[in-house]
Amino acid sequence: MMRTAFGWLVGLVVTLLVATALTFAGHAIGTPPTSGRNDVDVGVNAFGYVAFSLAFVVGCWAGQAAYWGRWDPSSTAEGRLTFFAWLMGTTLATVTDCVIRRAFRYPQDGWIVGAEFALEIASILGIAWASQQWWRNRVAAIAANAAAAERLQRNYGTQSKE
């Protein structure tokens, strides 16, 4: 019970710290996570969503690491690959969205805002698809290696030496 509560507490604190750090970083480089004009926040933009997703992934890792008491909280290769796919995808999406928001920073009317939004959504979907394909290929390779090792063990591991 205590270990579970500690894991949740560490995960939540790390999530909030990373989200706060990414918010400050976004403001510092000119891509705040909220959209609005004249100091009135209208809502969270795509950068805010992907930045918080990154903070959530890092927070989940920290909570699991605190719960299990080791840096690598996953005991399976598939679990580690899943974490790395999420980490790579959210990191790449955050960086890509920063670049897009910087490129479309000044003109804020009409079709340009729509083009920025479409480009953000397309990049997020493309990165999500690429991350999923990377994960699928790595898991398939692990399964193929495990099957090959099992065949070797079955064919050569039980023969007696004469």
Residue 161 lies in a domain: no
Structure-token match 């909570």, residue found = 63
Residue 162 lies in a domain: no
- Is residue 77 a contact partner of residue 17, using CB atoms and an 8 Å limit? no
Residue 45 lies in a domain: yes
Kindly give the confidence (pLDDT) of every residue in the chain, 162 residues in length, as a single tens digit, with 9 standing for 90 and above: 788 899 899 999 999 999 999 888 888 887 777 765 555 556 677 788 888 999 999 999 999 889 888 877 677 778 888 888 999 999 999 999 888 888 887 766 777 778 888 898 999 999 999 999 999 999 888 888 888 888 877 878 655 554
DSSP 41: E
Cα Dmax for the chain: 86
Residue 14 lies in a domain: yes
Domain tally, the chain: 1
Beta bridge partners of 43: 35
* Domain carrying residue 148: 2-156
pTM to 2 decimal places: 0.74
